[in-house]
């Protein structure tokens, strides 16, 4: 008898859970419904549109480039920045000025870059971010970690670290 009661309890719990889920999903989708301009559409089309909207919002939130200036302003006086850079921010800047001419940079239109930077995904990988990613790599982070918290795509992070792959290279010890 106990087992039957337990089963019933589990079923009711599952039912309440699913109902809550359904409520939450309906609330979330209601937001997207409000955003839609066309209300008079068939159900199938609406479902497709919802999926697309959902995906685009995820992209906007997650695939944004690491905002270096904002990161520095937030953490300039805390110990976090020094722990991440392994040195103070001042010496980081002096180091960057030393190696800035040697870093691979793509000449971009600044207005265009700022516009892209505000949106989803884009923006050039500035030298500060390159040096930051390199220091993180040398202090033990793996490629996937760097790609995640700097928000760089995998291929471009590999190019930054290794340079573009050339043909056969030979190793001479001396």
Partner 1 sequence: MKFPKSPEECAPLAASFERISHQSVFTNCVGALDGYHLPIQPPSRSYTTDNNVRSSSYFSSHYESCGINIQACCDAHCRFTFLGIGGAGGITKDRAAVIDSGLADLIEGLPQGYICLADCAYQPTEKLIPLYGGDLELKNNDNANFNYFASQLRIRIEKAFALMIRKWGILHRPLSNDLPNIKDLITCIGCLHNICIDERLKVGEEDDVLLQSSRCHLPCQQLVYMDSCAVVSTSKNWTCVMCLSLFYLGLTPFRSIPTTY
* Footprint of partner 1 (CB under 8 A): 86-88, 91, 95, 135, 137-141, 162, 168-174
- The DSSP output letter for 37 is S
In angstroms, what is the minimal distance from the CB of 90 to partner 1? Answer: 8
In angstroms, what is the minimal distance from the CB of 170 to partner 1? Answer: 6
Q: For partner 1, which is the closer residue by CB, 70 or 102?
A: 102
Q: For partner 1, which is the closer residue by CB, 38 or 90?
A: 90
Give the dihedral sign, CA 3/8/12/15: positive
- Phi, psi (degrees; rounded to nearest 5) at 23: -60, -45
CB under 8 Å, gap of 24 or more: what pairs does 131-139 form? Answer: 131/92, 131/95, 131/96, 131/99, 131/103, 132/68, 132/84, 132/85, 133/157, 133/160, 133/161, 134/160, 134/161, 135/84, 135/85, 135/86, 136/84, 137/161, 139/86
Give CA–CA dist 89/77, Å, rounded. Answer: 10
For residue 39, the SS3 value is coil
In angstroms, what is the minimal distance from the CB of 156 to partner 1? Answer: 18
Q: For partner 1, which is the closer residue by CB, 30 or 98?
A: 98
For residue 163, give the H/E element and its range: none
Q: For partner 1, which is the closer residue by CB, 65 or 150?
A: 150
In angstroms, what is the minimal distance from the CB of 91 to partner 1? Answer: 5
Q: For partner 1, which is the closer residue by CB, 43 or 140?
A: 140
In angstroms, what is the minimal distance from the CB of 152 to partner 1? Answer: 18
């Amino acid at each position: 008898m106990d087992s039957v009661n337990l089963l019933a309890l589990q079923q009711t719990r599952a039912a309440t859970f699913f109902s809550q889920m359904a409520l939450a999903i309906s609330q979330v989708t209601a937001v997207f419904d409000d955003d839609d301009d066309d209300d008079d559409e068939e159900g199938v089309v609406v479902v497709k549109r919802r999926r697309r909207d959902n995906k685009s919002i995820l992209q906007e939130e997650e695939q944004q480039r690491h905002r270096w200036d904002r990161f520095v302003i937030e953490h300039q006086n805390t110990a976090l920045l020094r722990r991440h850079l392994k040195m103070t921010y001042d010496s980081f800047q002096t180091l960057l000025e030393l190696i800035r001419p040697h870093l691979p940079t793509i000449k971009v239109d600044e207005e265009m870059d700022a516009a892209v930077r505000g949106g989803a995904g884009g923006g050039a990988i500035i030298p500060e971010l390159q040096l930051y990613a390199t220091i993180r790599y040398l202090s033990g982070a793996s490629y996937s970690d760097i790609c995640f918290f700097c928000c760089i795509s995998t291929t471009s992070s590999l190019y930054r670290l290794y340079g573009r792959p050339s043909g056969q290279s030979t190793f001479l010890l001396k």
